[in-house]
Structures are given as structure tokens and as C-alpha cells.
Amino acid sequence: GAVVSQHPSWVICKSGTSVKIECRSLDFQATTMFWYRQFPKQSLMLMATSNEGSKATYEQGVEKDKFLINHASLTLSTLTVTSAHPEDSSFYICSARDLPDYNEKLFFGSGTQLSVL
């Protein structure tokens, strides 16, 4: 099946620094990727929809200047957490669809555990 690679798997950073997370579709082209955030023992909350070549669509309550998303190619989307603070510590997961057909499953990256000190 299709593979989505997410990097890094975990990152520890100091408060005030920026962190970039990469999400790559390895064997398919993903015109749309999704970024989720997950707190311990909770569900996935959609943060934004990343569209290749255009601006990302953010969910209500998600600060677009805080969470910068770039989808410059059909195989790569990046999420940058700017000026990270301890409350940004969370598990971030990306996903992508293999086909443009919305009626299909998502392939997920393995997630990035962010810890902000």
C-alpha cells in the first residue's frame, strides 16, 4: 500500500524556537495532505488541510501564523510550529490520500512527538 513518511519521529526543543515537521508521500502523489494533533489518550483533531500549490485551509481555532504549512510539491508537506511553547507539546500526525477521489482511505505518517521545554 501507499507509504507516508513523517520526520522527525520526536523532537525536544526550547521554548521560543521553531520546529519543522516533514510529511512525504513516498510512492504516490498527494494533492491533499492533512495535519492532525493528538493529545494523550484523545482523538485526532484536524488542524489544517494542505493543498499542493495553494494556501492551507485551517480549522477553526487553529492559528495559521503559529502553525505554518507549506505544500510545495505533490509529495511533500511541511508543518512549522513557530515560537513553540510548552502548550504546543503534542503528537502531530500527517496523512494523505492516494487518489483524488474523496471516497477513499487515508494513509498516515508515523507521527511526531513534540516536547517543548
Partner 1 sequence: SQQGEEDPQALSIQEGENATMNCSYKTSINNLQWYRQNSGRGLVHLILIRSNEREKHSGRLRVTLDTSKKSSSLLITASRAADTASYFCATDSSNDYKLSFGAGTTVTVRA
Sole window of 14-22, 62-70, 74-82, 94-102 interacting with partner 1 (rule: CB under 8 A): 94-102
44 binds partner 1 (CB under 8 A): yes
Q: What share of the chain is helix, strand, coil (3-state, %, to 5)?
A: 5, 50, 45
Identify the bridge partners of residue 102 per DSSP, sorted by sequence position. none
53: alpha, beta or left? (left if phi > 0; alpha if psi -120 to 50): left
Nearer to partner 1 (CB atom), residue 23 or residue 81: 23
Q: Beta-carbon neighbour count of residue 68 at 10 Å?
A: 16
Within 48-77, the residues that bind partner 1 by CB under 8 A are 49, 59-60
What is the contact surface with partner 1 in residues (CB under 8 A)? 4, 6, 32, 34, 41-46, 49, 59-60, 91, 93, 95, 97, 102-111, 113
